[in-house]
Amino acid sequence: MIPQHHSLNTIYNMQFILDQINPKEYEGNLIFLYGNDVADRTLPLSKKEIDYLKQRREADRHSIVAFDRLPYKLYVVNFDSEISANESQEHIRRSADKVVSMLKELKQHTAAVTGDGVIPEEVVAFMEGLVLSDYSFDRYLSKTPHHLSQLVVDSTFLTQEELDRSTRLWNRIFWCREWVNLPVADFNAEEFASELEEISQDLHIGCQVFDKRKIEALRMGGLLGVNKGSVDEPRFVVMEYKPANAVNQRPVALVGKGVMYDTGGLNIKPEDYMQEMKSDMAGAATMASVLFAAAENQLPVHLVALLPMTDNRPGFNAFAADDILTMYDGTTVEVVNTDAEGRLILADAIAYAVANYDPELVIDAATLTGAAIRAIGTYGIAAMQQRAENPFNLLKIMGTQVYERVAEFPFWSEYDELIKSDVADIKNCGIAQAGAITAGKFLAHFAKETPYIHLDIAGVAYFSKKQHYYGAGASGYGIRLLYAFLQTYDMTKSNRQ
């Protein structure tokens, strides 16, 4: 089953309608955002009900209070506009997830959103939470589960253009989730690459797909090494979005790990460690989605996405520990463990970006290490940077703002010692300690002098258990972060130096 992006487009079939809403007259399910007491004047509630609401609000600043307005309901979503904007907006997104559950329980498909004493960002945060919560991976279900179909949004808070821009971004998050959720049997490197090629044509984005012959000609030893044990061919996809009004003269390179499935290879993953490894191409899916969203919303940033794709399998000719690979840039790598495969395919992509695009910044996203998860859990991205302090600071700020947070790990030179090899230039893993960092250091070797940011998304790309508005399964975590980063990238030149 090769997914058609045309059908992917219809995953998102929730319709938004901008309209004026008078809460006292509205007939239908109404969601009312209540940030402070001014809201009392607009609420269609009796004095007694308002007293009750306030009691509940006192007890829990983030409670959702439902009132019967038969045959409909009024949901008052409390939030605290006194705390920092990023935190209150995150509370709103998570409340939206709860409202979605409440509506689903009652088999409701439509609702309207308004509020009083709220700012547009808060309304958008609510819509974002609602839209992202409504997603589920339905493709293989005989019976499509419940979804919302229509949301009326009070036009006091945003314009059609603003709504359209947000909708495009959310749609791309859905593409990413869908790609990541697809099992490898139905979505291999070749299929992923042709999907991206087709979309690029529609969006008038430059796209090159390198097949195995071309990858061999380029001598990408990392990508070819990992691919040796697979029956499916590898692919290397390069997409470019170059707007006329770009703020950067040299591109920003977005590199994404596209391991379609990670069995571990000959160092095969034991017991239940293999499960969910269809998500090992989340980095590539993330970067493709970011580039598409940036292009569709015409952000003034010149971008190149470089996506190496293969699965990692223990086939008869699989690469083995002790092998020495010669990478695209000529670096030799001793393979210590075939399960540290992501860095091998990314190394070729980073080196290719640096040699062929002279980027001003390289960012990669990769489900790279279990060590990153052990270090900070599933609450953010383990991040590292080399010569990229200024853009990294901007990324950190944006991470706090959209609540897709980045935690900077140290990148001290001592860690370089841990990946030195006796028989090759470097080796593909270090010791048991600091595994997320030695993986980052391995990649940084290939960025050379170019400012470089590494995002290890292993903890956040795929949630085994439902994580509020990210749902269960593929999350698309990192897309809103990178989009917000690129949106503000032109703020000052100094961010980019």
Which residues are marked as active site? Answer: 269, 343
Q: Considering CB under 6 A, how many residues would be counted as binding ligand BES? A: 15
Query: 282 or 361: whose CB is closer to ligand BES?
Result: 282
* Residue 264 Rama label (left phi>0; alpha psi -120 to 50; beta): left
Read off the DSSP letter of residue 72.
E
Query: 145 or 270: whose CB is closer to ligand BES?
Result: 270
Choose the contact partner of 205 out of Zn ion, ligand BES, none; CB within 5 to 8 A by kind: none
Query: 176 or 398: whose CB is closer to ligand BES?
Result: 176
- What is the C-alpha to C-alpha distance for residues 435 and 448, in angstroms, rounded to an integer? 21
Footprint of Zn ion (CB under 5 A): 259, 262, 280, 339, 341-342
| Shortest Cβ 33–ligand BES spacing (Å) | 36
| Shortest Cβ 402–Zn ion spacing (Å) | 26
| DSSP string over 395-418 | HHHHHHHHT--EEEPP--THHHHT
Region from 86-94, 337-345, 346-354, 465-473 binding ligand BES, contact rule CB under 6 A? 337-345
Residue whose C-beta lies closest to ligand BES = 370
- The total number of residues written for the chain in this structure: 497
Single-letter residue type at 406: V
Which of 191, 339, 360, 404 is in the footprint of ligand BES by CB under 6 A?
339
- What is the C-alpha to C-alpha distance for residues 463 and 471, in angstroms, rounded to an integer? 8
Site string for ligand BES, 360-389 (x = CB under 6 A): -------xxxxx------------------
Q: At what angle do helices 282-296 and 479-487 cross, to 10 degrees?
A: 40
Which residues inside 273-332 make contact with ligand BES, applying CB under 6 A?
280
Which of 435, 440, 471, 476 is in the footprint of ligand BES by CB under 6 A?
435
Cross-strand partners of 16 = 151
Single-letter residue type at 262: D
Which of 111, 426, 458, 484 is in the footprint of ligand BES by CB under 6 A?
458
Which of 9, 81, 156, 337 is in the footprint of ligand BES by CB under 6 A?
337
| Shortest Cβ 120–ligand BES spacing (Å) | 36
- What is the C-alpha to C-alpha distance for residues 468 and 403, in angstroms, rounded to an integer? 13
Please report, as ranges, the residues that interact with ligand BES according to CB under 6 A.
262, 280, 337, 339-342, 367-371, 429, 435, 458
